[in-house]
């Protein structure tokens, strides 16, 4: 601003002066503090501008209240009367307060609460932003800047924003603004318009707004729709983040609309061809394919044949020979396997697959490899109460029943004869391909000692053995491994024997005479007291026991004695020499 020389006025005299004094007096009576009046710029004195408001005294306004182009000698300006009387004798005026008041009044005439205005962000203050609206400084709280939380308010400084006028405080000349309410109102309007026009089956373009574990929310330009994880892809999706990320723009299909709850369900995979269309032509029953294990359950494995097409291999279809308890014992996610198509359910979109069907069933040729009567070797794998399972090849077991374990012994449990892990040789007795069972015989792999018993033992022969078992009716004498003979209680001694255990003990060695040999019934009859008998004594005893045997000839005395003893031996139903 340039320098201005002070201007002085000569005092007025005469009639003119009286007239002017009268006019000033009338004006004085009308002016009052707080009013805005028009003033005439008289001069510039230092840092002040002298203003004539038609009062008996001039007033002054700081030069700083003016812009350069506003100071013109003789020009007019609006000023506010702060006080008519001051100690200096001049009127206290303010151009800035007048301007501010006029701007405020103009704003009140232009805007009302609830209207939309434009404002320039001039700065950041505690709790929000300062906004200039038509020369008035207004306040925009931080919570009203946007619908989303604002982390950096500096980015708004210097920008012009469209805002809603929430409140006018006339006393403080303050405005409270909101951008958030304006956004929410417009979003709500867009939402209403979109709900009125949206229909099931429509294709819409949207932007990924948020991702959750169960899906993603898609902004359809004012309306959020839910894209569930199951509708993202025809294939398996573990988490939505595998398919989408926030900010992605994509085309979706409207699956469902709930106007009452203002909810929209969307689909992404529906924008693509359903891979299940024509599935039976691409995957005929019995055909073999290569796939990847994508998920495991205790009951089976899910194998992906192509994106969106999975089939289940049940644990029963893993192997022809091995019993699989759970899928994870055999496979892991990511494994690649060959599978065969077993069945297709197009309605429920299910495919049954088999792994074992891609290989030859070993049970189809088991009869050729192990004909009945052939000998096999294997390892004892497991026991049951009735027998033992022997693995004769990987996944193929045969069972030895307890009745086929020994020619001579009665076996109550297989552990009496075998141990787990033991290598054994057995004979194939029977094969049931349909039930996948092979019956084996352990005893059949060795000669039956009773088949040649007559060649080793004859009536009248004196033998030695150990007492292996004592019963109430007699004692069993072990003559050789697996071959016992029975001494009836009546044949233990010439003296009367009340109880067998009083005469004999288990493990005691005895000498006896064979009085009977029956290979068919697996029985050998013995007599201890007949060891020392002469031929005549035996003949006499025979006649005594069986008078009906009077026709016995010399040399046949022992046969007659055996016949005479049959009645005594028959007293017990337990005469089974194989029992120890």
Q: Is residue 285 part of a domain?
A: yes
Domain holding 366, by residue range, is 362-445
Comparison of pLDDT for 21 and 418, the residue scoring more: 418
User: Which candidate, 291, 292, 290, 289, places its Cα nearest to that of 334?
Assistant: 292
Q: Which two tokens stand for residue 88?
A: 């200096």
Residue 488 has pLDDT above 60, yes or no: yes
Domain final residue pick, 397, 423, 445: 445
- Is the model more confident about 70 or about 232? 232
Rounded to two decimals, the pTM is: 0.46
Distances (CA, A) of 558 to 446, 490, 526: 32, 16, 11
Distances from the Cα of 394 to the Cαs of 318, 319, 321, in angstroms? 15, 11, 8
- Residue pair 235/304 in contact (Cβ under 8 Å)? The answer is yes
Q: Clarify whether residues 238 and 328 are in a common domain.
A: no
Which of the listed residues 384, 418, 445 is the one where a domain comes to its end? 445
pLDDT at 564: 46
Minimal CA–CA distance to 459: which of 513, 522, 520, 523? 513
Q: Tell me, yes or no, whether 193 lies in a domain.
A: no
Instruction: Report the CATH number that the domain containing residue 123 is assigned in CATH.
Output: 2.40.50.140
Q: Do 268 and 250 form a contact (C-beta atoms < 8 A)?
A: yes
Q: Considering the domain boundaries, does residue 367 fall inside one?
A: yes
Domain count, the chain: 6
Contact 468, 432 (CB under 8 A): no
Q: What percent of the chain has pLDDT over 70?
A: 87
Q: Are strands 437-441 and 423-432 parallel, antiparallel or unpaired?
A: antiparallel
pLDDT of residue 331: 94
User: Which pLDDT value is given to residue 572?
Assistant: 44
| pLDDT for the residue 260 | 81
Q: Is residue 146 part of a domain?
A: yes
Q: Let me know whether 353 and 369 are in one domain.
A: no
The per-residue pLDDT for range 219-229, each reduced to its tens digit, is 988 788 999 99
In a shared domain, residues 256 and 295: no
**312, part of any domain:** yes
Please report the sign of the dihedral spanned by the C-alpha atoms of residue 83, residue 89, residue 91, residue 93: negative
Q: Could you give phi then psi for residue 380, rounded to 5 degrees?
A: -65, 120
pLDDT tens string 29-88: 578 877 888 888 888 888 888 888 888 888 888 888 887 667 788 888 888 888 887 777
Q: Of 358, 381, 416, at which residue does a domain stop?
A: 358
Residues 318 and 350 in one domain: yes
């Amino acid at each position: 601003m340039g320098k201005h020389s002070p201007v002085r006025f000569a005092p007025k005299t005469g009639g003119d002066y009286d007239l002017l004094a009268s006019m000033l007096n009338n004006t004085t009576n009308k002016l009052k503090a707080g009013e805005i009046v028009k003033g005439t710029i008289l001069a510039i004195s230092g840092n002040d501008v002298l203003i004539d408001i038609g009062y008996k005294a001039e007033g002054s306004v700081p030069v700083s209240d003016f812009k350069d182009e506003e100071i013109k000698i003789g020009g007019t300006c609006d000023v506010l009367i702060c006080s008519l009387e001051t100690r200096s004798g001049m009127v206290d005026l303010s151009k800035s307060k007048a301007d501010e008041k006029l701007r405020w009044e103009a704003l009140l005439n232009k805007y009302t609460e609830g209207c939309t205005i434009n404002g320039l962000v001039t700065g950041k203050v505690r709790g929000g932003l300062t906004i200039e609206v038509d020369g008035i400084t207004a306040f925009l709280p931080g919570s009203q800047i946007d619908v989303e939380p604002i982390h950096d308010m500096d980015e708004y400084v210097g920008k012009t924003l469209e805002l809603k006028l929430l409140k006018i405080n006339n006393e403080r000349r303050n405005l409270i603004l909101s951008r958030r309410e304006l956004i929410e109102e417009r979003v709500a309007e867009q939402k209403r318009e979109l709900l009125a026009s949206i229909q099931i089956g429509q294709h819409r373009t949207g932007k990924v707004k948020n991702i959750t574990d169960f899906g993603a929310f898609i902004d359809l330009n004012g309306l959020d729709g839910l894209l569930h994880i199951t509708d993202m892809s025809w294939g398996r999706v573990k988490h939505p983040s595998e398919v989408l990320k926030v900010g992605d723009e994509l085309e979706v299909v409207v699956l469902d609309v709930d106007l009452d709850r203002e909810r929209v369900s969307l689909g992404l995979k529906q924008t693509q061809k359903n891979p299940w269309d024509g599935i039976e032509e691409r995957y005929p029953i019995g055909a073999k394919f290569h796939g990847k294990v994508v998920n495991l359950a205790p009951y089976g494995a899910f194998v992906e044949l192509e994106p969106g097409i999975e089939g289940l291999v049940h644990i029963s279809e893993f192997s022809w020979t091995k019993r699989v308890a759970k899928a994870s014992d055999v496979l892991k996610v990511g494994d690649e396997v060959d599978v065969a198509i077993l069945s297709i359910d197009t309605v429920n979109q299910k495919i049954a697959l088999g792994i074992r069907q891609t290989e030859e069933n070993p049970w189809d040729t088991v009869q050729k490899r192990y004909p009945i009567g052939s000998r096999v070797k294997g390892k004892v794998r497991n026991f049951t109460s009735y027998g033992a399972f022997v693995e004769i090849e990987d996944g193929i077991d045969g069972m030895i029943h307890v009745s086929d374990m020994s020619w001579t012994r009665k076996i109550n449990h297989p552990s009496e004869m075998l141990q787990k892990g033991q290598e054994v040789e057995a004979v194939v007795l029977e094969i049931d391909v349909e039930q996948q069972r092979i019956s084996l015989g352990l005893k059949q792999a060795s000669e039956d000692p009773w088949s040649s018993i007559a060649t080793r033992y004859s009536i009248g022969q004196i033998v030695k053995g150990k007492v292996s078992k004592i019963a109430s009716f007699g004692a069993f004498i072990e003559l050789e491994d697996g071959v016992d003979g029975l001494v009836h209680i009546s044949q233990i001694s010439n003296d009367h024997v009340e109880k067998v255990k009083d005469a004999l003990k288990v493990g005691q060695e005895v000498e006896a005479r064979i009085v009977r040999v029956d290979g068919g019934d697996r029985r050998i009859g013995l007599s201890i007291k007949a060891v020392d008998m002469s031929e005549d004594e035996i003949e006499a005893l025979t006649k005594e026991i069986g008078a009906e045997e009077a026709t016995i000839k010399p040399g046949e005395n022992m046969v007659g004695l055996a016949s005479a003893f049959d009645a005594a031996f028959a007293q017990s139903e337990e005469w089974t020499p194989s029992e120890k």
